[in-house]
Amino acid sequence: MNEGPRPIEVLLVEDDPGDVLLTVEAFEHNKVNNTLSVVNDGEQAMAFLRREGEYANAPRPDLVLLDLNLPRKDGREVLGEIKADEDLRSIPVVVLTTSEADEDILRSYHLHANAYVTKPVDFDQFISVVRQIDNFFVTVVKLPR
């Protein structure tokens, strides 16, 4: 018997409290039992992914939503480190950022981002985009276990 899509662990790397709130709301409205963990800068992201320090018991994410413009360690550096790490590179990373700059898009794909999504300014569109990302990775894509 098929129970539907399995819940996934999502790590949101975002320093803007408003965008964190919108993303959390979008996940809650989607009525999916996914777990959303949030860290606010690039150093925390790498500690979470490597399960270091306070993140020693952190779940391994099935998906990372990554902002590019982060304090302490830039999102581009985080993406590069994730994709260069033997243990982490299989985790899909969706760059979710305000930047529409061609150089950011090209560099993100050069660093092996799985997708690049520009955050809409409009509240309803932002919620819709996050839901679509969530839906795609939960129901369409087969993720490594």
pLDDT digits (tens, 9 = 90+) for 26-81: 877 766 667 889 999 999 999 999 999 999 999 999 999 999 999 999 999 999 99
pLDDT at residue 32, rounded to an integer: 61
- First-last CA distance in the chain: 20
Q: Cα–Cα distance between 89 and 83 in angstroms, integer?
A: 4
Q: What is the pLDDT of residues 76-131, one digit of tens each?
A: 999 999 999 999 999 999 999 888 899 999 999 999 999 999 887 788 888 888 88
pTM: 0.89
